[in-house]
Structure 1
Amino acid sequence: MIIQASNLSHNYNGDIALKNINLQIKKGEFICLVGESGSGKTTLLSILSTLLKPTSGKLSFENSNYADIKNIDNFRQKNIGFIFQFHYLINYLNNFENIKLANEKATKEEINTLLELLDIKNLANKFPNEISGGQRQRVAIARALINTPKVLFADEPTGNLDSKNAQIVFELFRKLASEGMTIVVATHNKELAQMADKIYEVKDGQLA
């Protein structure tokens, strides 16, 4: 298992957000966490991706306990990619520079290969505010992939996209998973979630 969660629980100021979550994710699996707003799916995604520490429970990555990781920033850079609903691109950097910022060692060829994969190579020298929302999200995906993460996490990555661009993003996730990358997506879109290998519904802080 690449990720194993045992009895994960999380509270916000005494309010229970997650309760006794048990989850196992294999290498190369494409997983979707679905649920209504406030169900706990984003909290679960944040914990699985190490952005948030659980109140209790155990989380392992390739059989290593997250709690034992000494340098969490270094661990994330080597192992984890994250895509947010909002792209968080830097407007005064062009798209190529935004991707390069995530990995200074990345070569021009590596970045161009990603841009080509996402069908945005012609936008490399444009700035985020000069392109559409769907194109910005694809730049953000390239930025998340430039370190070749073992696990790619995405929180409502298609929330601001039209149906065509949303479909393109999920088809890319399927392709990446088929090539061995583990993909974990939180989404309220149950139709798109059907493209995943497994769907887990989060309801009232528990896996339904």
Structure 2
Amino acid sequence: MIKAINISHSYSNDIALQNIDFEVKKGEFVAIIGESGSGKSTLLSILSTLLKPTSGEIFFKDINFKDIKNIDTFRQENIGFIFQFHYLIDYLNIKENIQIANEHARDKEIEELLELLGIKNIINKYPNEISGGQRQRAAIARALINKPKVIFADEPTGNLDSKNSQNVFDIFKKLSKEGTTIIVATHDINLSSKADRIVEVKDGQL
């Protein structure tokens, strides 16, 4: 599904990643762990096309990222992003926030997705009217509305309590079993145990 070959990345004179080879299969749930500053978020950003590596190559289904002419269209058709902060728009209700990612999404699609995530009852509420866990699940719904082939999540439970954190990882597990590839960067070893595979980044190396 995704293959990284000899990836290295530097910020000025600081080496963040060095000679990384990494491969993820379709439907696999992979947790990337490591301490703050280890390079895990940099690796996730490169794998998800948000950051170009200093050197090395990334392939998606045998397509070299360098050969993708319209990266925005590619992302919209293939990738879902979930971050530590939900980035919901305060003046839009939950349905409208999800429609930002896909203006053609039908109401029924959104309702079914929210039901899957256990938050169908908040569809007409605004972000400041719901809990942190509900906001994060709404952000997951927004990431899923285009039926992405791969979901990248960077510390998605960083602002959640343990119960909601477990719920989010249970959702990832369910999605991976249904064929969605999940790649999560997290510092939480307990949560990462729910993944099919754990990869540790230390000092910029796997």
Runs of 4+ in 1 over 2 A off after TM superposition: none
Q: Map 1:1-208 to 2 at 5 A.
A: 2-207=1-206
The secondary structure found in structure 2 opposite 1:4 is: strand
Question: Over residues 144-201 of structure 1, what are the superposed CA-to-partner deviations in whole Å (9 max), with x where a residue is unaligned?
Answer: 0000000000000001001110011001100000000000000000011001010000
Q: TM-score, normalised by structure 2?
A: 0.99
The secondary structure found in structure 2 opposite 1:165 is: helix
Q: Which runs of 5+ in 1 are unaligned?
A: none
Q: TM-score, normalised by structure 1?
A: 0.98
Q: Distance in 2 between matches of 1:129 and 1:42?
A: 28
Q: Which runs of 5+ in 2 are unaligned?
A: none
Q: Distance in 2 between matches of 1:118 and 1:66?
A: 32
Q: Distance in 2 between matches of 1:190 and 1:5?
A: 24
Question: Over residues 89-115 of structure 1, what are the superposed CA-to-partner deviations in whole Å (9 max), with x where a residue is unaligned?
Answer: 000000110001100111100000011
Let me know the Cα RMSD of the aligned residues. Answer: 0.4
How many residues are treated as equivalent by the alignment? Answer: 206
Percent identical residues: 70
Question: Over residues 37-81 of structure 1, what are the superposed CA-to-partner deviations in whole Å (9 max), with x where a residue is unaligned?
Answer: 000000000000000000000100000000000000000000000
Report the AA paired with residue 46 of structure 1: S
